[in-house]
Amino acid sequence: MADYSRVWATQTRRCSHPDRQWTIGRQKDCSIILRDRYVSRVHAVINSFLFANQPLYFIADYHSRNGTLINGLLIRHSTLLHHEDVIGIGRALLVFYYPEMFNEIDASMLSQLNKVSTSSVPWVG
């Protein structure tokens, strides 16, 4: 299972979530709450899709005013997250931690990824 580390000046907090969807924002019912005026009420959404018996995690900006960054790049479409990707939302940085990613997927099956990725950019990086 993937998790996030929220990193700021001297503090790190780990968040694990078993659901198929995480919401990130200021709202109290978000899975990951960021108390920052530069963060929208629901800023971004992370969805999990099962591919070859392994979950893949895609992040999408939820029409926020200030956008969502992955490794310093502004995302425009749903984007596949990789191990140690840095997600920038407002003034917060979240590190996606998923070292088992692609360990059990045969490389010949990766061409099918576009078919299940909801017409998104398959990955950045």
Give the span between the Cα atoms of 38 and 25, in whole angstroms: 10
Domains, the chain, ranges and CATH?
21-96 (2.60.200.20)
| Radius of gyration over every alpha carbon of the chain, rounded to an integer in angstroms | 14
Q: Which residues contact residue 11 at a Cβ distance below 8 angstroms, ignoring those fewer than 6 apart?
A: none
pLDDT of 4 higher than 60: no
Q: Which of 21-35, 45-59, 66-80, 104-118 has the lowest mean pLDDT?
A: 104-118
Those residues whose C-beta lies under 8 Å from the C-beta of residue 70, and which sit 6 or more positions away, are 59, 79, 81, 85, 86, 87, 88, 124
pTM of the predicted structure, to 2 decimals? 0.71
Structure tokens at 100: 């088992």
